[in-house]
Structure 1
Amino acid sequence: MARITAPVQGYNGTIGDVVFENGVAETDNPAVIAYCRGAGYTVDGETIEAAHEPPVDSRDVERVRLGTPLRDAAVDPWPEDFLPPTNAGQADPHGPQVVSPGAHAVPPAPIVPGPVSPDPDEQQAAETEVAQRVLVEGQPATVVAERSRPPQSAPKAAWVDYAVSQGADRGEAEATSKADLIDRYGRDQADEEK
């Protein structure tokens, strides 16, 4: 059992699970003993003086970069970038010809109707095409979405997303049957003109 004396006479308090009374405590706890030795307490009659080093001058410290530096994909695109900005590395990186499609259904690009592809390359191509056509070429989002109408065999969720892209309320579209969604939003423009 180690006897520990606090550097402040009469100290009453605790360090970990060790209680000091009138500046003295006894313990077998190796963590508390080690702490007290390093903090200037007297342990079993021995006090270790902490080394007092001069403060560090920040001009003398070598700088070391930690982590990965930030990179603007519009300025410095890499082939492995997922959903990189359109025209990256080809046009003014911060001009109107370079836009980022972002993740699925994240503004400013419109929602790409239909299911999200499990193939990242296929999904990237679809998202980038829509962002290019709407944000760079200025085509109305409804026209772009019209060209991207899901097939009739697509699941109802794809038709709900498509209906929402056409201006429908999501709650109402989800409450509508797939057949009614196809009837309302699945007609070709040619059929409507007849």
Structure 2
Amino acid sequence: MAETIYVRGEGGGIHAMDLPLPEPIEERLRKGMLQRVNEDGSPYTEAADDEPTGAGKVPEPGTQVQGLPLTEPSKTAVKADWVGWAVVKGANAEEADGMTKADLIEKYGTPSS
């Protein structure tokens, strides 16, 4: 049986989606154009059942909340991951999607030493 998640669409409606998500939906979720939520529309946060949560816990690279990354993606990550990171940093999802991956890394990435 497929796992079901709930996604808030661009128009604000809540949609039940079975995993795995279709590729275009998955990409829009990573870019921040869609938002993963609970069935009632409240914000979704991902936490493993056997791991304690709390202040001071450092998220693993690639960890996501509501489909958006908590940590900066690697320079070799796909553009969609960088669009999602730009959204986390305050960018508009559509504007970030219009930028090149190199521009996203330059503007929203940690400067190289």
**Which of the five TM-score ranges fits, normalised by the shorter chain?**
0.3 to 0.5
Higher helix share: 1
Higher strand share: 2
TM-score (norm 1): 0.26
* Greater Rg by CA: 1
TM-score (norm 2): 0.42
